[in-house]
Structure 1
Amino acid sequence: MTTTPLRKDAARNWERIVATARRYVDEGKPLQLNDVARAAATGVATVYRHFPTPEALLETVAAPALEELAEHAERALASADPWSALHEFLAAGIQVQLTDAAVRPVLAAATDALERTTELKDRVTGRFGRLLAHAHAAGAIDPGLSEADLTSLMCGIAYAVNVHPALAATDRAATGRRYLDVLLTGLRRP
């Protein structure tokens, strides 16, 4: 899909809006477009022109992390060791869920506001399915374990870590990795 480049002033406004939204998400504030417009020192109409819904803005904030996760999955597919590839991809997935507050609600949403979000989610889930299939084919993981099972377990790990809000971000990531290691040790086939 080709898009016309934004004028310089429109591009600056877009960047200010996204930066403000990023700050709101990081601070746990709701993305109310009028509030974002005020904080970004832009007109409300400008925000709505770029982002017709709060979901579209949230998906834009989450997009870099989703792109990184999709690229990680693609690199993992090139690995000769299906178990390590799956493990490292899942670790990256836990990491992004624990370090970017925009990702969890975007991944959990039943519908997407932006076509790009759907494309990214499809890339991630498609690669994840292939990584799991490779691990199954290699006999490295319980053959009865489905993508849905593993997705629910990953969400459970993220939830378990988030129950302890006093953990620093680095501690949360390390705790998530430790929980994942324990889980996958139980799921690995000898």
Structure 2
Amino acid sequence: MRKDAARNRHRIIEVARHYVDDGKPLQLNDVARTASIGVATVYRHFHTPEALLETVAHPAIEELVRRAGQALTEPDPWTALRAFLAAAIEALLTDPAVPPVFSAVTDSLEHTGDLKRGLVTAFTELLARAHAAEVIDSRVTEADMAPLMCGVAFAANVHSALDPAGRAAHGLRYLELLLNGLSARASR
């Protein structure tokens, strides 16, 4: 990529990041205007607002993939599962680009799909390890966890007056309460 094209791409992503953080709709024409870059240039880099949103979310999702990898190296299955779910809650509550990307039915960028599939694979393995070690209620399935995690994030977002770190702290507390209820000890 030429230096000017790389600079433009960086500026577009930077402006989009501010839009997302401020809760503004991500419209490519608006981003172009704010970035002082031609609309055609923005569309050349990002064909849709969804592709731009996914690009903005990629650093947080890549960090979550990294943390999933760390969790997979943790020998204790319960600690590993808790660490991964805590990282997921933190990502959901501290980066407003992440929830809409995770909830999208389709992905605009192949890289996004790869990242999401990697997370699903890691979570499947972490949950299977927790089941095998009998540290989580055997009735808890992968399908159960997505709405439960959404519920934790929703409950933490009720405190929307808090900054992202404050919401994440509430989310982690709620996650801990949820996991205490899902542990195999609680089901006995």
TM range (shorter): over 0.9
Tell me, yes or no, if structure 1 residue 14 matches structure 2 residue 13. Answer: no
Percentage of identical aligned residues? 61
- Compute the RMSD of aligned alpha carbons: 0.6
> What amino acid does structure 2 have at the position aligned with 1:59?
E
Tell me, yes or no, if structure 1 residue 34 matches structure 2 residue 40. Answer: no
Tell me, yes or no, if structure 1 residue 133 matches structure 2 residue 124. Answer: no
- TM-score w.r.t. length of structure 1: 0.96
Count residues in correspondence.
185
1:168 pairs, out of 163, 166, 171, with 163
2:64 pairs, out of 62, 69, 81, with 69
Q: 1:163 Cα deviation (Å)?
A: 1.7
Q: 1:171 Cα deviation (Å)?
A: 1.5
2:105 pairs, out of 106, 110, 116, with 110
1:152 pairs, out of 147, 150, 161, with 147
Deviations 1:89-134 (A, max 9, x none): 0000000000000000000001000000000000011101100000
Give yes or no for contact 2:77–2:129 (8 Å, CA) kept in 1. yes
Q: 1:53 Cα deviation (Å)?
A: 0.2
Q: Distance in 2 between matches of 1:75 and 1:169?
A: 24
Tell me, yes or no, if structure 1 residue 80 matches structure 2 residue 79. Answer: no
SS of equivalent residue, structure 1 residue 157: helix
- Where does the alignment leave 5 or more consecutive residues of structure 1 unmatched? 1-5
- TM-score w.r.t. length of structure 2: 0.97
Q: 1:164 Cα deviation (Å)?
A: 2.0
1:96 counterpart residue number: 91
SS of equivalent residue, structure 2 residue 184: coil
Deviations 1:123-151 (A, max 9, x none): 01110110000000000001111111111
Q: 1:169 Cα deviation (Å)?
A: 2.1
> What amino acid does structure 1 have at the position aligned with 2:136?
I
Q: 1:42 Cα deviation (Å)?
A: 0.4
